[in-house]
């Protein structure tokens, strides 16, 4: 049992001492990035960058900081406590039930954007098969500006609502959110007609254990069904792709069976596809034969995987 900090412990002390005390408390509660979080909590409590704070903490600041620290110790995400989060240069309002962008999403988005930028087509057609809550679709839509079409699919009805809300909030009317199971092929969309397809598949989430500690309690029992779903979504995604089109397969896990092994199997069945190396470079990322792997201890991001697959011209 870890004891939360009391406001009277923090009132009247210097900002750097307060950061140290909050850091120690967060560390004792098992929070992974205690140093960063402590400085962010002080920034929220004082409304200013802690490097610009010199006076001892006032009583209201101390009360606010103690309350924020107590919530963070209970693992309330930092983004929720801040109420907003910066993502690819955009400020998002976040909270329980609404969009909460993550560092890994940011890199996958950049990969997707990189693909879009290379399209050079005036009216690209883009399909995001597993789109909710919408982080990557929003970023793609932003990049597409007023060109082309973006279809954003999601199998869970409640989460389609999240997608719609996210597009409405950002004033994006170009994207078309829809309810659909990506394991079932939908010829109505037009097979072979999309320039870019994103398969950001459901996964075991082993790469985000640091931020979602409950994942530790999960076992990989039943993973076979998940593996089948992932492979089916990837295989279907490829069928929507036009010749020369590119697909991104991504997960937020570091599990080889959900990552490299899925791409290897896909390439065995689809010899008209090949893996393309990413152009973005993040220190520590591993470009391997079947995609790119981001390991938290090497990239200082969540753990995740992304593979860019290109369909050859005349197939």
Ligand X SMILES: C[S@@+](CC[C@H](N)C(=O)[O-])C[C@H]1O[C@@H](n2cnc3c(N)ncnc32)[C@H](O)[C@@H]1O
C-beta closer to ligand X: residue 154 or 302: 154
C-beta closer to ligand X: residue 15 or 237: 237
C-beta closer to ligand X: residue 37 or 154: 154
Asked whether 78 and 98 are in contact (CB, 8 A), the reply is no
Distance in Å, CB of 306 to ligand X, minimum? 12
Q: Is residue 250 packed enough to be buried (19+ CB in 10 Å), middle (13-18) or exposed (0-12)?
A: buried
C-beta closer to ligand X: residue 57 or 163: 163
Asked whether 288 and 305 are in contact (CB, 8 A), the reply is no
Task: Give the integer Cα–Cα distance in Å for 23 and 14.
Answer: 14
User: Considering 130, 170, 252, 315, which one is annotated as catalytic?
Assistant: 252
HSE-CB of 172 using CA atoms within 13 angstroms: 28
Distance in Å, CB of 68 to ligand X, minimum? 26
Give the Å distances, CA to CA, from 235 to 98, 218, 238, 275: 30, 27, 5, 15
Asked whether 247 and 196 are in contact (CB, 8 A), the reply is yes
252 given a catalytic annotation: yes
Indicate the residue whose CB is closest to ligand X: 130
C-beta closer to ligand X: residue 153 or 245: 153
Q: Dihedral (C-alpha) 218, 223, 225, 228: value to the nearest 10 degrees? A: 130
Distance in Å, CB of 253 to ligand X, minimum? 10
Asked whether 170 and 208 are in contact (CB, 8 A), the reply is no
Distance in Å, CB of 251 to ligand X, minimum? 7
Question: What's the residue count for the chain?
Answer: 315
Binding positions for ligand X, rule: CB under 6 A: 105, 129-136, 153-156, 159, 181-183, 200, 202, 229
Distance in Å, CB of 202 to ligand X, minimum? 4
| Active site residues per annotation | 252
């Amino acid at each position: 049992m870890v004891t939360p900090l009391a406001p009277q412990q923090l009132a009247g002390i210097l900002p750097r001492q307060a950061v140290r005390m909050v850091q120690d408390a967060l560390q004792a509660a098992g929070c992974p990035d205690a140093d960063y979080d402590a400085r962010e909590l002080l920034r929220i409590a004082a409304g200013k960058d802690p490097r610009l704070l010199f006076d001892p903490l006032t009583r209201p600041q101390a009360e606010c900081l103690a309350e924020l620290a107590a919530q963070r110790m209970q693992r309330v995400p930092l983004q929720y406590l801040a109420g907003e989060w910066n993502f690819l240069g955009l400020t998002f309002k976040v909270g329980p039930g609404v969009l909460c962008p993550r560092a890994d999403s940011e890199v996958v988005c950049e990969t997707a954007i990189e693909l879009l930028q290379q399209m050079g087509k005036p009216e690209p057609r883009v399909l995001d098969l597993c789109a909710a809550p919408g982080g990557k679709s929003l970023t793609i839509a932003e990049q597409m500006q007023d060109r082309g079409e973006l279809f954003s699919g999601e199998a869970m009805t409640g989460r389609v609502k999240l997608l719609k809300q996210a597009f409405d909030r950002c004033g994006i009317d170009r994207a078309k959110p829809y309810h659909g199971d990506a394991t079932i092929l939908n010829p109505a969309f037009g097979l072979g007609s999309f320039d870019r397809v994103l398969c950001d598949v459901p996964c075991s989430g082993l790469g985000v254990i640091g931020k979602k500690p409950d994942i530790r309690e999960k076992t990989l029992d039943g993973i076979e069904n998940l593996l089948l779903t992932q492979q089916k979504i990837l295989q279907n995604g490829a069928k929507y792709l036009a010749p020369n089109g590119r697909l991104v397969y991504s997960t937020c896990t570091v599990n080889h069976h959900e990552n490299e092994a899925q791409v290897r199997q896909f390439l065995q069945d689809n010899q008209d596809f090949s893996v393309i190396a990413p152009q973005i470079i993040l220190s520590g990322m591993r470009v391997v034969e079947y995609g790119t792997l981001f390991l938290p201890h090497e990239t200082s991001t969540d753990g995740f995987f992304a593979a860019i697959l290109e369909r050859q011209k005349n197939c």
